[in-house]
Chains A and B, each alone.
Chain A
Amino acid sequence: MISKRTQTSLKRELRSNPIAILGVVLFMSLVIGALFAPILAPHDPTRQYSTENHQAPIGFGSEDQRTVLIDGEIQTIASDNRGTLTHVLGTDANGRDLFSRALYGARTSLMVALAAMSISLLLGTATGLTSGYYGGRTDSITMRLVDIVLAFPALLMALALFGILGPMTIWIPDPLVTSGLVSDRPASVPFPGTVTIAISSVIWVWIARVARAEALSVKNEEYITAARTMGMSDFQIIRRHVLPNCLTPILVLGTVQLATIIILESSLSFLGFSGTTLSLGFDIAQGRSYLGTSWWIASIPGVFIVAAVVGINLIGDWLRDALDPDIQGGGA
């Protein structure tokens, strides 16, 4: 699907652009961290080491005493909460290892991102290309529909859909654990189904808009007319000629929208509408109660979100710079 020339220009841009490499490295390390979370995480993300709670990340914390919020009252107890190698990024209020939780949380984010993006790409591309290719009444009806979905802020709509569907969590067996490669880790991981559906239903319209615009711009090209004269069916023309010629901008937008999806997912779980507790947004919400005493609980998961989104945005810039001659060198 991706032409030789496109590949060359992508590679050239990547070589001359160290920032793009940084993006790829950032994103890939999170993908690997999430994919192999059971192996890479030093602890079970749900296990509570109750005697080691509120432990600071390595290099932080103090030796003598700490203040803790117990039953809504701030109390000072004597203890040592300095960071240790056992919990490199510290522990939360229940003594769960934050690094392990962050890896598993990143897993949830990326699973949702991948699933929601696949659904949006399929739905958006199919609708957009059909709408743009046929034009006329099909086009105006579809586009008004898109306008209606766009009129609702994505987060509000996703929340409302969550309110209708309720949490639907699908437990997916973890192949790394079931195969016996690692033990002591959760045997299955929660996949927040409702979050995925809710996010897909607001993201596909953006893909549809771009797909339609691209289809409009190629539909009167000579090769389309030629294909039509040769007696190809509309479906074949869309699949063989329109789609490949519209794919690049759609994929670039898809990449950029991954960032939006990750932020939406974390916002939903932050607000308590996700159906899983293994999520970066959920951990940030938990950490809010301990800002005065254990700053790291809310901070650490956020750093992972920002890293993932920065990575995606840098990759998006790289793709745009390499593929869109109009704004060559214009992006950051």
Chain B
Amino acid sequence: MANRLTIGFAIAFAVLTGLAVIGVGRFLQQRQDFEDAVARSYQTEIAARTRFAQGEDRAAAREAILAQEQRRQSLRDDIDDETRDTALLVGAGLIAGLTGAALLFSGLIASMRRPLEELVEASQRLASGDLDARVKVGGLSETATLGSAFNEMASELQRRAGERDQLDRMKDEFVLTASHELRSPLTSVQGFAELLMLEREKLSTKQAETVEVILDNTRHLVRLLNDLLDLARSDAGRLVIKPVPTELAPLVDDAVRTMRSQTEARQQSLSQEVETGLPLVEVDRDRIRQVLVNLLTNAHEYSPQGASIGVTAVLRGAEVEISVSDDGPGMPEDQLEHIFDRFTRGDAGLTQHVGGTGLGLAISKSLVELHGGTIAAEAVLGQGSTFRVRLPAGATGDPVTEPARTEASR
């Protein structure tokens, strides 16, 4: 439709331009004729004046002179009329042309504008994650091409996103199933090893040590399974916390008590200092306890025999900050950057026994963020590390589900 409009305007232009050219040409010819006629009139008048000066038939000569003057006047009047008409014609043509051009352009712009606006709007919707965004294909051939290219792109994006979601679901499902299926054999291995240890006195020292190794590794496998399960849940947006108003001091106390036998076994001191009068925090107790035990386990395992480990909790503005610090080997800068990534582990060369899964800090970060808090690490090489967890102080809100994964968090 817009194309027909363009062609119509082009034909109108051509006709108008042709008419103007013809009009101007005719005017120039008339002008030439006028000048010739004026020149002839002067010649006739000069001849008459000569006759008058020579005294021949003066009356007739005067009449002839006057007649020529009148003729020229009438010629001038005619040419003036012609000039005015031509000027009017050209002016009208110009105005018509300009108006036409203006109409054509506004028509063109209008016919492009709507599809373009629609494209802009659809692109914004697509960018904000609405993969159903499509445009109506139409208008000028260029905008139509653009529109169908956009629609193809959106369909492709949608297809790939669907594939990715399906793969993610398969992965999550796999981890859940694997974790489930591995639990029964692990239950047997751990259970029977414990059974052997119940009759430890019947075992040789070597046998008892062997069973201890089995038990140690079984517990490690169980921790790995639990951590993998937590991560899969977190990825699937199914990591759910059940926050209740909680006093921090007993929670810290509980975590410290859990770690006590392990730290004592390596003569590490374990201190706790919770500011008095701390406000309540709205947390899932088991999960925050898990975070604290994770941090304490790291401090314990990466620090040498005899190291000092401390937990403090203080109020910082509207947040409660829980810090776990040690005077262990610390970390170099480049390691610190990736400390919350999955399967990142510190250099275990300094200690003989590091039993972590490499997932604890990644899970801790997910859990703390699920509570609306933050977790950060500081370390000085050779002087120790500090992990700070900040949680919003005060109690509000319902159970929170982790928002589904975003690209930025991967």
A, B: real partners: no
Residues of A participating in the B interface, judged by any CB pair closer than 8 Å: none
